[in-house]
Amino acid sequence: MTPLLSVQSITKRYGAHIGCAEVSFDLYPGEVMGIVGESGSGKSTLLNCMAGHLAPDAGTVIFDTRTDGPRDTVTMSEPERRMLGRTDWAFVHQHARDGLRMGVSAGGNVGERLMAVGARHYGDIRDKAVDWLDRVEIAADRVDDRPTTFSGGMQQRLQIARNLVTGPRLVFMDEPTGGLDVSVQARLLDLLRGLVRDMGLSAIIVTHDLAVVRLLADRLMVMKDGHVVESGLTDQVLDDPQHAYTQLLVSSVLQV
């Protein structure tokens, strides 16, 4: 089986500082990979390098494209990479504001990706937008409202709908539940889990919340100071942490 995404020795430096160093892993279709670590451990840098938002200093990110098979996204041309970003990839930001157009209605937000890949039939675009709002539990009568009138949880769900409407195969998520209260988090996680399973998505989730990866991720990487210190199956890593830092991380979770 060809991995959907094969990351080899990704390194990104910020001057003398290390963003992330020598990170390698394979992600197979339908698999969800969690990346955890404390703030400043290089999780987001790694995610941005993989998603093409940052150019890594070294390493390759090989994505199994629909048409041409495995391609290195680091060296492919920018139009191709941006095309991937609109079709096969999706990126869910921590703050919905970064991923949404706040001045455009919910329907327009969902429809943007469709129009970006050439949809030119208003009725079809709108039907699809309403369908997707329904799938992320936003009432159809909110389709013409702007995201500024939505709650934080709704904005996050709208961002997810906007990203998934073109049927991507790989979703990058940067702290998708950050800044939401626990009950809203729980519903969002439930929704994400359902969508990932139904659509057979592969996902890479960056978070510092171990509960999120426990629920969603099949595999887990633990990062510290830009390096991967431990990786393995989620339950294995969380229940039997080997590295001292992972042990610290697992034991730091507050028990209620």
Using an 8 Å Cβ cutoff, are 256 and 70 in contact? Answer: no
φ, ψ of residue 136 in degrees (nearest 5): -100, 20
Assigned token pair, 173: 């998520």
User: Which amino acid belongs to residue 165?
Assistant: V
Minimum distance of another protein from residue 184's CB (angstroms): 27
- Please report how close the Cβ of residue 152 comes to another protein at its closest, in angstroms: 23
Angstrom distance (rounded) from CA 216 to CA 4:
18
Q: Which is nearer to another protein, 39 or 75 (CB)?
A: 75
Least Cβ distance, residue 244 to another protein (angstroms)? 44
Tokens at 164, concatenated: 């998934």
Considering the complex, state which of residue 120 and residue 198 has its C-beta at the smaller distance from another protein: 120
Q: What are phi and psi of 125, to 5 degrees?
A: -60, -45
Nearer to another protein (CB atom), residue 15 or residue 120: 120
Residue position matching structure tokens 């790989």: 170
* Residue (124 or 239) nearer to another protein, CB: 124
- Nearest residue (CB) to another protein, 164 versus 213: 164
Strand-pairing partners, residue 173, are 92, 205
Judge residue 11's burial from the number of C-beta atoms within 10 Å of its C-beta, 0-12 exposed, 13-18 middle, 19 or more buried: middle
Amino acid at 38: E
**Distance of closest approach, residue 61 Cβ to another protein, in angstroms:** 20
State the residues that interact with another protein by CB under 8 A: 78-79, 82, 86, 101, 103-105, 107-108, 111-113, 115-118, 120-123, 125-126, 143-144
Minimum distance, C-beta of residue 116 to another protein, in the bound complex (Å) = 3
